Amino acid sequence: MRRMAETSLEAYEYLKRENKLKPTQQEVLQALKELGTATSKKIAKKLRKPLHAISGRITELKDMGLVEVTGRVKEDGARTSSRLLRVKRM
């Protein structure tokens, strides 16, 4: 039986190889893999891009089933909590 991490990686590589992921989607997914779990704000900071430039890509990756929300966290100085994201394990 294969491990979930292996099938998740295979799915990502297939989408990348078949040009199913746009460049910014690939960047967001890679950043999230490196961070483990993170908020949209942390991903944007890591990529040095404005938050509005990656928010839509995160939604697209969630719709593809590649990213999931694992909870909520209140960031420093924020009035509301942010979604905590991670690469979905298949």
Is the pLDDT at 81 greater than 60, yes or no? yes
Predicted pLDDT at 68:
93
Are 32 and 85 contacting, i.e. CB atoms less than 8 angstroms apart? Answer: yes
Q: Scan for tokens 């929300």, then name that residue.
A: 69
Residue pLDDT, tens place only, 7-29: 555 666 666 555 578 899 999 99
Structural domains present in the chain: 4-87 (1.10.10.10)
Reported as a single tens digit per residue, the pLDDT across 35-52 is 999 999 999 999 999 999
Q: How far apart are CA 15 and CA 12, in angstroms?
A: 5
Alpha-carbon distances of 14 from 10, 20, 72, rounded to whole Å: 6, 8, 30
Integer Cα distance of 25 and 31 in angstroms: 10
